[in-house]
Amino acid sequence: MLPNVQILEAKDGFIGLKLVKENQIDLILMDIQMPEMNGYEVTREIRCLESDVQIPIIALTAGSVKGEKEKCLAAGMNDFVVKPVIEQTLREIIRKWLKQ
């Protein structure tokens, strides 16, 4: 889908936050249910670190309960995708937020 992209993977929220601090990130696909720090907590921490440029953060969650999208947006995420993610949906969301 994106042959020239470098993908960084975090096994938990602490590692995700560390990757953001140590790398120039263009887009984050944020799992909500992660060990150590959940996606809401990591997003709030990332937003506190930012100054000029806001990294697009897309929530990825299996939770399709009422209010989940609003909770993600309130935490500072830019968009919301429910798992399982369909390839076309992922393409559209990446295109939307990376403005390629």
Residue 100 has pLDDT above 60, yes or no: no
Q: Residue 67 has what DSSP assignment? A: T
Domains and CATH numbers, the chain: 13-98 (3.40.50.2300)
**What is the rounded CA–CA span in Å between residue 29 and residue 92?**
13
| Amino acid at position 74, single letter | A
For residue 52, the model assigns a pLDDT of 85
Contact 83, 60 (CB under 8 A): yes
* pLDDT band of 54, cuts 50, 70, 90: very high
Environment class of 65 (CB within 10 Å of its CB; exposed 0-12, middle 13-18, buried 19+): exposed
* pLDDT (tens digit per residue) in 23-48: 999 999 999 999 889 999 999 999 99
How many percent of the chain have pLDDT more than 70?
Answer: 97
For residue 65, the model assigns a pLDDT of 74
